[in-house]
Structure 1
């Protein structure tokens, strides 16, 4: 991307337009600590999909032209730009945080043609060399950076030394730590150095893009894309939490969920009739394992036609759903984007009649294959198509469906990937699959969310596999088709923590693994590790052994029940954290580095996590382990089970027999808890229990009806609790909802 010499600069309100010999680049001051850099090398009037509102705040900044550079300075940061678009960002003390790399990429051919032919003859996949991209920027790497974010990319918490691609991909094979891409594209990274302020970079480009954090060369890291603009946001703050807050300020924050959606869900691709569903629901209650839904995978549809019901195998529409509703079960069903090509099928006929489907380069409706066979793809980038799709959910809600699970929306296809020249729209603008691919699932979730909200008036549960930055405004996520292997259990923590720091506060993994055969020990350790995840579901695939807890014997049922009940006990704490995230964007499940980014022991801690500020969880993620080392950060920590106290900034050896999840409560904290129920709504939550650790503590607690949007009109309660010298002081800061009948204190 050539720019040449800087020839001029002009300030216009919150923008500075820089003129180079071969480019015009705009610097936009969003806030005192967020700056946008735009090189419109593709399209000057491009409207962001991730950022849907005007985020610019009137911010005072100075602008100065010097001999060979321009300087832009706010109260919190400074940017200098010179010839060839050489730039540097500084913090308010003048320390350089990030600068462009002055050299060129070291483009290497990794193997010779001779070696390549030999490897291919042996059946090996030969790696090709690297290349320059149409859109590209290189940054200096000092060597002491730690990289976080990027959604649920595989591997470890710190992404330094790895390279990734943003290209939503349906990959059923075993996910290993070096996989470049999975189902989601979230081109956001936070960088923490051993000294100095952290910063974040969000690259707002939906085309196939590439992010290398020092794998290619230890001297730099880079962003590249096949097309689109160079459009990135630089943000800084005193702590990593500040960066999460600023990123979610830009791309939006997940709305409050219905309370029941945070409970436990059971699922299998392979419940093939009403009796299968009915049996699982019955055994959940018989074994006293709390459960909100037995979810419907693709088998419930008539010939895999979306928005239909297989009455032959599942009974009359609505009958099974209403039957199970009497015992507290809510219906959640899967919906794929592929519409069966079938004249006489209402969704196909309506889509054809209204010209709602994507077309090939010859303007014919594009056809590929998914579960129903030949299928066509709705053009979700168009508002009228999203409305049609969203309104179609009334067919399901009329049967009693309460939650929607969007799958196969990368979009997946069985006859090879969709060609890049398949024609789609973004709004009224005609474009192609190369631009739309990474936001196809985003647009589908948007249409689903808006449709369900309009139809039901309640907070929609939309779960999606594929998404883009900003999709957290419309959908919860899970990490896709994982496997029943210990390496995928180990990956749960960094994946969910990085998703949380990337804006997705409601996220989970398939407990026990989707593909492959699980076993008793793996199931127990998985449900323990996932106890505080905000999407809490056991799911597995057809053709694998059954994965309901009773399939592994009474001991597993007993332990499994213990941790599902524990999840329900802590629901008000989880709900409080989600309420707080409306203001700060912070996730429920956090890596320790997010809370303690001044403690180098936390920077690459892959096997522990925190729940908010007050709970530390250290799951066992290796087979046969009954003791494990746990790092406790600054403070005093209380073992939840034994009540033993430990001083922080130290390592301890924790006992972890098969029925024990090591977890610790931070001294001087209050944590709200509910009584156990078999499902949310079984009885009123009219009693609040406060778990108190320490002699002094303060806590703010939020309460509403957990269903609709009335809280936005003031129908909620906000309490503050202060614990001092054995006495609890309660203050109802805002009263707009039915109060608790009793509040009890349980002192550790």
Structure 2
């Protein structure tokens, strides 16, 4: 017995020591590339007009402004320093369960820049050419072209290229300031303000923990699946700053934004050609509008989605009936049931998982037609689940089709270097194969599957899961390099689903929600969700991270976003106990009532989690906030119209409406706005019964007490927030106040 205890204590000691080293001695991160700038004496330093933009080479600095406000600089290089650099390098993208880690080796860096020629071109663009060199005497030429965007005269395009045979990395370096705050970059979970960070932009599985220790360390130790603070399903090379500077890349390759230096920012893209745009506007709202002119915008959700809760269930026909009866006793407004396991359940090491063979399992959902018809009479919809992977179902007794076998035979699957279907380890599956979306025939086949097996079976929506896991060493049907297509894959996956809706005349009637995304995803998907959060209170992978993800993604055009109510990832094994308790669930319910889509999830281990239907207390609480959510439908539909017209998010960071109030810059997840009339401070810490909320200048009314707050200058206040009464303030005189007064009684 003593020997066993000694071994156990030794193991614990080793884990603690290694974890401490992991935390306090992180991986080394390369410094930014810096160099000198030389300008040829033959260059005449004049102000060039590109549409309504001005470009000036003044002394040893490149400066860009706009004629609407010529005195305001919207982009400028660092005086005396190179703003274009290049390098060659090798990178290895290691994939584990859909998560990617990058190992980089630089071979040669050209850090010094000379400008030798500037001229206006016949198409009214401005071309700059010169040489990049280094201390070893190696040189390569570059070309930088500025042109006015065709779509909008407040978007300036730039095109940077060098000798691709020499350089496969490009850098763009330009001025920032110590007090400038950077927001956006798609869906970021740990931080809203990225100033001081070095941020890789790569679509990836987010990982388990993402910096929460010791969970992240142990997840990495045993499966290399812990993730880091920057791993995200939907990273985007785009930002807006507190000084109204905004830039985005059109590139799809792996890119890094280094915002660590006080006086400059550096973009590194794994490419020999960099394309992007610089935006000019005086407000965050207008900058978002200009950006979403390029990306596309998300449409208004179907009206039925706003009328009540979407109940996530697994378990079959009788389970659906049972939960419907339970919720009905409390008059829960139900818009639909989301049946994640509609295609059947299969055993796995992680508990019951799904058969990734997209057809209705009639043994699991018995009497389907009768069930569907009975719920249609109640105006309750069914939603399903699909992803772009397939697994072989030769061991599934009741399979009518083997979609994996069909796709393999037709050559519709992504292949490995032996031209065989690429078997990926994703979720609990080690043999899933991804459909090749560069193949038009494969896309059409997949669309036919979704139509036949989902739409024709009576489903009004579905989760379009995954999209982030295209391997970097895969071979694609049309020859596109996987490193160029990896970040594009979730855009194409969303486009396939959107085409299904359009081609079946279901625009405004059907909905699908995605977790992975990239730059153009807002123009393709109908709804985002924040992925697989841990059932915890933490800021890296728990309830707080879901709020941060909604706020950051809203800056980058993801205007309709939501999270699994209660979180998803459950780890009930020693040394952890990440199981959803009653308090966490109830607080997540409160938070979600103020988002565009009110959807529950049982989690990956339903039996370990408290559910909204678990007891009288949870059902009553859920019913009240489902009714609150439904009562806000007219207000949300107005906000969704703004989203469709201008790209504004429904859930908004206060920065969007109070950009000149420096106090809002530090808000990460503590509070958010629903539109411009409701300020919400959800309770995000266990056992808290108060919230401390920042109220900007204006007249506000506390929902639960009806107390008026006349704020002359932005200030923080603390209010009671017991379960059932999160911090909610509404602008005085807003019609929304009257919508919600019944819940304050």
- TM superposition score normalised by structure 1: 0.72
Distance 1:156 1:439 in 2: 24
Instruction: Give 1:394-543 correspondences, 5 Å limit.
Output: 394-395=451-452, 396-411=454-469, 418=471, 420-424=472-476, 429-459=478-508, 460-475=510-525, 476-487=527-538, 488-516=542-570, 517-543=579-605
- Please point out which of 713, 719, 734 is paired with 1:669: 734
Instruction: Give 1:601-620 correspondences, 5 Å limit.
Output: 601-606=663-668, 607-620=670-683
Q: Find the counterpart in structure 2 of residue 80 from structure 1.
A: 56
Please say if 1:162 is aligned against 2:225.
no
Please say if 1:546 is aligned against 2:609.
yes
Q: 1:244: Cα distance to partner?
A: 0.7
Q: 1:199: Cα distance to partner?
A: 2.0
Distance 1:599 1:277 in 2: 49
Instruction: Give 1:626-641 correspondences, 5 Å limit.
Output: 626-641=689-704
Q: Find the counterpart in structure 1 of residue 230 from structure 2.
A: 180
Does the 8 A contact of 1:272 with 1:300 survive in 2? no
Q: Find the counterpart in structure 2 of residue 652 from structure 1.
A: 717
Distance 2:683 2:202 in 1: 32
Q: 1:306: Cα distance to partner?
A: 2.7
Q: Find the counterpart in structure 2 of residue 741 from structure 1.
A: none
Q: Find the counterpart in structure 1 of residue 291 from structure 2.
A: 247
Unaligned runs of at least 5 residues, structure 2: 1-32, 86-100, 110-167, 213-227, 347-354, 395-399, 571-578
Q: Find the counterpart in structure 1 of residue 301 from structure 2.
A: 257
- Please point out which of 419, 428, 436 is paired with 1:379: 436
Distance 1:498 1:448 in 2: 24
Does the 8 A contact of 1:340 with 1:373 survive in 2? no
- Please point out which of 245, 257, 273 is paired with 1:211: 257
Bigger drift between 175-184 and 247-256 goes to: 175-184
Does the 8 A contact of 1:628 with 1:656 survive in 2? yes
Q: 1:7: Cα distance to partner?
A: 8.5
Distance 1:663 1:89 in 2: 42
Please say if 1:96 is aligned against 2:73.
yes
Q: 1:622: Cα distance to partner?
A: 1.4
1:186 aligns to what SS in structure 2? strand
Unaligned runs of at least 5 residues, structure 1: 9-64, 108-125, 413-417, 673-688, 693-744
Q: 1:87: Cα distance to partner?
A: 3.1
Instruction: Give 1:710-721 correspondences, 5 Å limit.
Output: none
Distance 2:58 2:484 in 1: 31
The CA RMSD measured in Å over matched residues stands at 3.3
1:483 aligns to what SS in structure 2? coil
1:496 aligns to what SS in structure 2? helix
Please say if 1:327 is aligned against 2:378.
yes
Distance 1:596 1:153 in 2: 21
Does the 8 A contact of 2:47 with 2:54 survive in 1? no
Does the 8 A contact of 1:189 with 1:201 survive in 2? yes
Q: Find the counterpart in structure 2 of residue 289 from structure 1.
A: 332
Distance 1:580 1:468 in 2: 21
- Please point out which of 617, 621, 625 is paired with 2:684: 621
- Please point out which of 317, 322, 327 is paired with 1:274: 317
Does the 8 A contact of 1:390 with 1:449 survive in 2? no
Distance 2:420 2:656 in 1: 50
The size of the alignment, in residue pairs, is 585
Q: Find the counterpart in structure 2 of residue 13 from structure 1.
A: none
Please say if 1:150 is aligned against 2:127.
no
Q: 1:351: Cα distance to partner?
A: 3.0
- TM superposition score normalised by structure 2: 0.72
1:514 aligns to what SS in structure 2? coil
Distance 1:388 1:256 in 2: 28
Bigger drift between 479-488 and 227-236 goes to: 227-236
Does the 8 A contact of 2:205 with 2:231 survive in 1? no
Call closer, same or farther: CA 1:615–1:357 in 2, change over 3 Å.
same
Call closer, same or farther: CA 1:3–1:72 in 2, change over 3 Å.
farther
The superposition leaves residues 683-735 of structure 1 with CA deviations (integer Å, 9 ceiling, x where unpaired) of xxxxxx7689xxxxxxxxxxxxxxxxxxxxxxxxxxxxxxxxxxxxxxxxxxx
